[in-house]
Amino acid sequence: MIIKTNNFQDILNIAIEKNKRLYEVCEMLEADNSEISTEEVRDRVKHILDSMKSAIKEGLNSEEKSVSGLCGNDCAKLVKKYKDGKSLFSKTYQNVLKYSLATIEQNARMGKIAACPTAGSCGIVPSVIIAIAESLDANEEIQINSLITAGLIGKIISNKLALAGAVAGCQSECGVAAAMAAAGLVEMYNGTNEQIINAAALTLKNIMGLVCDPVAGLVEVPCVKRNAFMSIYAVTGAELAMADIKSVIPIDEIVDAMVQVGEMMSPKLKESSEAGLAATPSGIKITEELADKWNQ
């Protein structure tokens, strides 16, 4: 059953026709396309899930700075804050924030991470799925189902939109990661296929236009903290969708609009570090200081 589709409606139609959940459809399509069994598909996803958990564990236990020195100990600061008993969030939300920073800081210090969908957005999907799975005591099979669902969202979007800040800004990296996480979270709660798609749609359309403006061209500022913000943002998308709040604009049209916005976005706002935060006085000063340091 090799089916190539660029849109979500086709996937939903297949799920309806076969009376399957979206992750089951994704398993079948991936198995057919890769000429492997669905069990092998799930084994591969388990390997990714294990890598995500390892990155979180290592990130939580490290205060090592990145080579630039711009980040590396923000997660440790958050851990200390929560140990002191000061938080606006529940334990679950605390973990979402901690895990997102732990993962993206591992990326910045050249640790092993799962790019999901990119290295610069690697903290969003694992923090949401793993932290909330822990709070629900969800077993590994449920976590794999959620991660497959998240992957399906990213895959279909990528058929139209390149998942790279250099092509369409950070809407195509952290934005897509947040949509993936929202969809995976709804699957974890056994939401309907329609709610899963709506979670992605609601999340995507409200992050449209997010620029990619890394200071000094590094995946650190504002990328690290952006992962933490987008993780909580993903939970919001899932929460709204599970209340049967629907996106007025269908997700396929939202993706088309993101492509259009990406094409209209100035090249200076697409990973070139020529505008936005990278071009602020502080951003320029950091860039110059790092250049001097590395030249020496």
Query: Would you write out the chain's pLDDT as a tens digit for each of its 296 residues?
Result: 445 677 999 999 999 999 999 999 999 999 998 999 999 999 999 999 999 999 999 999 999 999 999 999 999 999 999 999 888 889 999 999 999 999 999 999 999 999 999 999 999 999 999 999 999 999 999 999 999 999 999 999 999 999 999 999 999 999 999 999 999 999 999 999 999 999 999 999 999 999 999 999 999 999 999 999 999 999 999 999 999 999 999 999 999 999 999 999 999 999 999 999 999 999 999 999 999 998 98
What is the model's pLDDT at position 35? 94
The domain ranges of the chain are 8-295
Q: Would you say the pTM of this structure is higher than 0.85?
A: yes
What is the model's pLDDT at position 40? 98
Architecture of the CATH domain 8-295: Orthogonal Bundle (1.10)
* 58 backbone φψ class: left, alpha, beta (φ>0; ψ -120 to 50): alpha
